[in-house]
Amino acid sequence: MKVMLVGVQDMEFTTQDGGVIDGVKLHYLETAEGVSGHKTSSKYVARNVFNSFGVNLKSLVECLGTEVDVEYNSYGKMVGLYLGEKEKKAV
């Protein structure tokens, strides 16, 4: 699914109940049925899943404002992130 990447948020913190949040939140624009223009969305990706994409944060930040391709499994979890034809990476 093609989306316009507009934000990257590196996240690492401990929750009030002692849990650890470690991952990356991607902010993007996408088309949606019933929406004129674009819908804004964000998706949190756990660090281990993000690392499996083979994409580093710096190269992702350099892609801000460009179209990237994301892949979801049947549960709606992001399982692939494609910055370009040469950088195709998926789980």
More confident residue, 68 or 85: 68
C-alpha span between 50 and 24 (Å, rounded): 7
C-alpha span between 82 and 22 (Å, rounded): 21
Q: What is the pTM of this model?
A: 0.84
The structural domains of the chain, with segments of one domain joined by +, span 2-90
Tell me how far CA of residue 72 lies from CA of 20, 36, 75, in angstroms: 24, 23, 8
What pLDDT, on the 0 to 100 scale, is given for residue 52? 93
What pLDDT, on the 0 to 100 scale, is given for residue 84? 73
The 8-class DSSP code of residue 85 comes to G
What pLDDT, on the 0 to 100 scale, is given for residue 89? 47
What pLDDT, on the 0 to 100 scale, is given for residue 85? 55
